[in-house]
């Protein structure tokens, strides 16, 4: 089973950027962790990151070839109707993940355009959130 992990803007800076909020795990090591959690779950995990909204939308259009998607859209979560429409158009389940607890932060982060069209949402658990999303995707997609 194949899973697609998509990370949006500024997540390439993980480990350097606002470490008190996002922790010290780098993007490269998050990718390594996702691959290794995936192999424990018998999942082939493909990770992609882009700072560009249109690129994330193009990748969501390709996501039909995967069993499910784990999506951390970064700030686009709170702004992008276009990303929401791309998620809504997809028949495979999408799990929204945020490293930080967006509800404990600024009010503009409390609203997500994506949550209503996602299968589930995990936030505030750091990299563990990706692991839990992979686990959930695997469990739900096997049914």
- Among the listed ranges 30-38, 39-47, 62-70, 93-101, the one in contact with ligand DQA (CB under 6 A) is 93-101
Decide if residue 87 touches ligand DQA (CB under 6 A). no
Q: Interface with ligand DQA includes 50 (CB under 6 A)?
A: no
The reply to whether 98 belongs to the active site is yes
Pair of tokens at residue 54: 């249109």
Position 102 contacts ligand DQA (CB under 6 A): yes
Interface with ligand DQA (CB under 6 A), residue total 10
Instruction: Give catalytic status of residue 22 as yes or no.
Output: yes
Q: Which of 52, 61, 76, 98 is catalytic?
A: 98
Shortest approach of ligand DQA to residue 92 CB, angstroms? 21
Q: Does residue 56 bind ligand DQA (CB under 6 A)?
A: no
Of positions 109, 120, 135, 140, contacts ligand DQA by CB under 6 A: 109
Whole-angstrom distance, CA of residue 6 vs CA of residue 58: 11
Exactly one of 22, 27, 76, 130 is catalytic; which is it? 22
Q: How many CA atoms lie within 13 A of 47 on its CB side?
A: 19
Q: Does 135 contact ligand DQA by CB under 6 A?
A: no
**Does residue 26 touch ligand DQA according to CB under 6 A?**
no
Distance of CA 72 to the CA centre of its chain: 3
**Residues annotated as catalytic (active site), given as ranges:** 22, 98
């Amino acid at each position: 089973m194949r899973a697609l992990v998509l990370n949006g803007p500024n997540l390439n800076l993980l480990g350097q950027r606002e470490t008190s909020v996002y922790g010290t795990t780098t993007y490269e090591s998050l990718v390594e962790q996702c691959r290794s959690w995936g192999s424990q779950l018998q999942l082939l995990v493909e990770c992609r990151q882009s700072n560009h909204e249109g690129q994330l939308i193009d990748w969501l259009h390709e996501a039909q070839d995967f069993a499910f998607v784990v999506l951390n859209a970064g700030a686009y979560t709170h702004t992008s109707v276009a990303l929401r429409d791309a998620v809504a158009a997809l028949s495979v389940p999408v799990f929204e993940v945020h490293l930080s607890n967006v509800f404990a932060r600024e009010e503009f982060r409390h609203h997500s355009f994506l949550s209503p069209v996602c299968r589930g949402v995990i936030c505030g658990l750091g990299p563990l959130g990706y692991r839990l999303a992979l686990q959930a995707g695997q469990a739900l997609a096997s049914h």
